[in-house]
Amino acid sequence: DSGVTQTPKHLITATGQRVTLRCSPRSGDLSVYWYQQSLDQGLQFLIQYYNGEERAKGNILERFSAQQFPDLHSELNLSSLELGDSALYFCASSVDGGASGRGEQFFGPGTRLTVL
Amino acid sequence: DAKTTQPPSMDCAEGRAANLPCNHSTISGNEYVYWYRQIHSQGPQYIIHGLKNNETNEMASLIITEDRKSSTLILPHATLRDTAVYYCIVLMYNNNDMRFGAGTRLTVKP
């Protein structure tokens, strides 16, 4: 158990819909990262938040957005869903935002999103 | 960040050492080498990281060549539970923006 929790575990929805995935980081971790893993694309970094502010952006679509709240939990919002958005979405956390080469990230169990 | 090259797959006998290579010939002086693994569809798991010295922890050892252009992750006594995809990632100092490649699928066989 990494200490990172994600809800829900599974989500099935239809094209065009909007969903919200939730992540609670390990106690004391200030950074939250979101990744998407689909069969044909591998593990893709989406976005990082550090202490409530966006720190780094990867291959995140404009239909997707995220935020980190004052209690440090984070939500990833996916809208106008397409079949190709079906994937595993992982959240990870780390103690800092990248200083000191401490890239050790702790990953949650993931949310499996199926778009029908 | 420097790109990495790993063999797509490897086999290892249970109880033997598994040596997983990674090439990162364009690595720069302030980039670290990280190793993660992913068992089936679970979240990736941190294994070890290093800058230029060899590192060892309870899971594995990391051997980095003197020119830092390649490294080897060593699992000293592989078990069936070590079957996973292993990712080698090169990460800039002060940057947690990790880019996972295809990794090496390690299969430990009885």
Cβ contacts of A87 within 8 Å, gap of 6 or more: A36, A37, A38, A41, A112, A113
Cβ contacts of A40 within 8 Å, gap of 6 or more: none
- pLDDT category at A100 given cuts 50, 70, 90 is very low
The answer, for B3 touching chain A at a CB cutoff of 8 Å, is no
CB A31 within 8 A of CB A61: no
Q: In this structure, is the dihedral angle defined by the CA atoms of residues A44, A50, A52 and A55, taken in order, positive or negative?
A: negative
Of A97, A101, A110, which is closest to B43 when you measure between CB atoms? A110
Of A4, A97, A101, which is closest to B51 when you measure between CB atoms? A101
Q: Convert A95-109 to b/e letters by CB count within 10 Å (16 or more is b).
A: bbbbeebbbbbbbbb
Answer yes or no: do B41 and A88 touch at CB < 8 A.
yes
Check residue A1 and give its pLDDT: 85
What residue in B sits closest to A59 (Cα-Cα)? Answer: B99
Q: For chain B, what is the mean pLDDT?
A: 91
The answer, for A68 touching chain B at a CB cutoff of 8 Å, is no
- pLDDT category at B30 given cuts 50, 70, 90 is confident
Answer yes or no: do B96 and A42 touch at CB < 8 A.
no
Residue range A49-68, pLDDT digits in tens = 999 999 888 889 999 999 99
The answer, for A92 touching chain B at a CB cutoff of 8 Å, is yes
In whole angstroms, give the CA distance from residue B65 to residue B71: 6
Q: For chain A, what is the mean pLDDT?
A: 91
> Which residue stretches of chain B are H helix?
none
Reduced to 3 states, what is the DSSP secondary structure of residue A84? helix
Distance from CA of A74 to the nearest CA of B (A): 17
Of A2, A43, A103, which is closest to B96 when you measure between CB atoms? A103
Contact list, A110 vs chain B (CB under 8 Å): 41-43
In whole angstroms, give the CA distance from residue B33 to residue B88: 7
Answer yes or no: do A98 and B94 touch at CB < 8 A.
yes
Residues 53-92, chain B, touching A (beta carbon < 8 A): 87, 89, 91
Residue A11 pLDDT > 90? yes
**Range in A41-50, A105-114, B15-24, B57-66 the model is least confident about:** A41-50
- pLDDT category at A103 given cuts 50, 70, 90 is low
